[in-house]
A and B are shown apart, each in its own frame.
Chain A
Amino acid sequence: MSEVLVLVENTPQGIRKSSLELLTAARRLGSPSAVLCGAADDAAVASLGEYGAATVYVVPGTDGYLSVPAAEAIVDIAGRTNPVAVLVTSGPIGKDVAARVAVRLGAGIVTDATDVRSEGGVVTTSQTVVSGQWVATAQVTSATAVVTVRPNAIAPEAAPATPAVQTVDVAFSAAATGAKITASNPKVSTGRPELTDAAVVVSGGRGVGSEEGFGVIERLADSLGGAVGATRAVTDLHWVSHDLQVGQTGKTVAPSLYVAAGISGAIQHRAGMQSSKTIVAVNKDPKAPIFQVADYGVIGDLHKVLPALIDEIGKRKG
């Protein structure tokens, strides 16, 4: 059975869930081989094995660089193994690696796949295109397929195996080591992310009721690791600072999750958040227009719903 190269990521907390998802997908195409940059500890090898990695290629010497050494390592391994596919997780590193590997191998590349499967021996993918408005399916016709897979798209399934561990010494090119990480500045954990960068935004509107009431918005944002936003009405009332305004005349945001609490959803506000991937609304008024765009809505008093939600999130986090 052909090999499938899977670029996996190890963290102090263990192998990332998205890497286990890739191993699960890889098993549909062939025999999964994990490519692990950096040191391989036993725990990492064990968990890769648990999810079916037959081989673990350990690539030393990639520390301090972003992604090109990893790409060269995969190209190096692929040169010897002729894999049917190379799977990486969608994201800045994955995209960089996949791009380089595809060029070097002359391989067809699919990004942001939500599904990968083999149809008649051909690697077949599904992905949403055009901001999620269309679903495309594609077949990769080259000998090797390079696919970046969206995290959380494929549920990881265990399939225990005992991996063979191989250390691969790659002679990196000058280009691979040309870009160096000169500093890594840990993000301050107490501060909230920038409104426009945040993956999660929790916004409050007039329905919050008062400046003091806004505390619950901030607590929810903190428990979700998100930023705080507000409607123009709220910033005009000076409950929060003006730079937190989301909407036509404020900031335009497109987070993965947008929580609108006490916001009726006037078009001026929607203009600033309509591209959010998932929208959740809490509002007393069942006719509030925000419910028309919400993926999930709770009709109720935000001062009851949100504290309960914060408690529940706390419990789930453990």
Chain B
Amino acid sequence: MKIVVLVKYVPEPTATWKFAPDLTLDRGAVEGRLSELDEYAVEQAARLQEAGTASEVVFLTVGPAKAVDGLRKALAIGGDSAVHVTDAAMHGSDALATSLVLAKALEKTGFDLVLTGMASTDAEMSVVPSMVADRLGINQATFAGALSVEGGTVSIKRDSEGAVLEVSTALPAIVSITDTNPEARYPAFKAIMASKKKPVTTYSLADLGVDASSVGLAAAAVKVTSVTPTPARTAGTIVPDEGEGGAQLAEFLSSRGFV
């Protein structure tokens, strides 16, 4: 079984993020990293390979030149090779364009199972897995809290209100993995060095047969008109308890919808 893991290279969450004049996230201005949420999928793939379930594990990303660092991190955790789709025309692409490119790349790499994180830690949309599934016409099992593969069937556990659902689907399929799965291992330096020797193939849009005009900022059907910093976290309301503290707190929780 061949697993392809979709990963994203995202800005460091602790860094101060900036937006470029075209209102896209200025990825050049901040350090990047492999999205923490994708690391869960990378770890799952590595485990499936170690268990002998997967015969081949490939990591796939779409992103700027530096995104290869994210692939290297994934390769330090496990897997055999990686594919990096990079093209200047991709700048400003929305989820539709990204899913289009990923689907084309997946057609090129071939796969039995596609794994990915439940969301990226930058765009936080969680829609790419379903989009890719739709474009490829394959089964999907998203937001998997746990995953098992047996024969040609993938089964997941998915948290829903009041119940944990078990969902099964036949391969080929795409599964997105939540952060309740095991955390990615800490790669040894040895593994980091070994990852540098694993092959990374780079594709341009032309290599995938994607028309550059169908992606990028201009093709996006959503136009961001403004991005402003959230008003600085206003100092919280701090009240002394004069007998009414519990009730005041209940009122606050109620106003936030917790009660």
Measuring CB to CB, which residues of chain A are less than 8 angstroms from any residue of chain B?
Answer: 66-68, 71, 92, 95-96, 98-100, 102-104, 106-112, 124, 128-142, 152, 175, 178-187, 194, 196-197, 200, 224, 256-257, 278-282, 286, 291-301, 304-313, 316-317
Cα separation A311 to B254 with both chains bound (whole Å): 14
A308-B229 contact given A104-B134, A111-B125, A183-B166, CB 8 Å threshold: no
Cα separation A51 to B39 with both chains bound (whole Å): 43
CB-CB nearest in chain B for A75 = B134
Q: Interface residues of B: mostly helix, strand, loop or mixed?
A: mixed
Contact across chains for A305 and B230 when beta carbons are under 8 A apart? no
Contact across chains for B226 and A103 when beta carbons are under 8 A apart? no
Query: Which bracket fits the contact residues of B?
Result: 35 or more
Shortest CB–CB separation between residue A228 and chain B, in angstroms?
16
Cα separation A39 to B8 with both chains bound (whole Å): 40
Contacts of A96 in B (CB 8 A): 130, 140, 142
CB-CB nearest in chain B for A183 = B166
Contacts of A103 in B (CB 8 A): 96, 99, 131, 134-135
CB-CB nearest in chain B for A107 = B221
**Interfacial residues of chain B within 203-259, with CB under 8 A of chain A in the complex:** 220-230, 235-241, 245-250, 252-254, 256-259
Contacts of B138 in A (CB 8 A): 175, 178
Contact across chains for A257 and B256 when beta carbons are under 8 A apart? yes
Q: Which of A66, A67, A135 has the most CB of B within 10 A?
A: A66
Cα separation A58 to B120 with both chains bound (whole Å): 34
Other-chain residue from B121, B139, B238, B241 in contact with A301 (beta carbon distance below 8 A): B241
Cα separation A190 to B143 with both chains bound (whole Å): 25
- Interface membership of B169, Cβ < 8 A: yes
Contacts of B180 in A (CB 8 A): 194, 196-197
CB-CB nearest in chain A for B122 = A130
Contacts of B140 in A (CB 8 A): 68, 96, 179
Contacts of B137 in A (CB 8 A): 175
Cα separation A293 to B167 with both chains bound (whole Å): 40
Contact across chains for B238 and A185 when beta carbons are under 8 A apart? no
Interface 0/1 of B135-169, CB less than 8 Å to A:
10111111100000000000100111011111111
A135-B227 contact given A179-B169, A296-B252, CB 8 Å threshold: yes
Contact across chains for B125 and A95 when beta carbons are under 8 A apart? yes
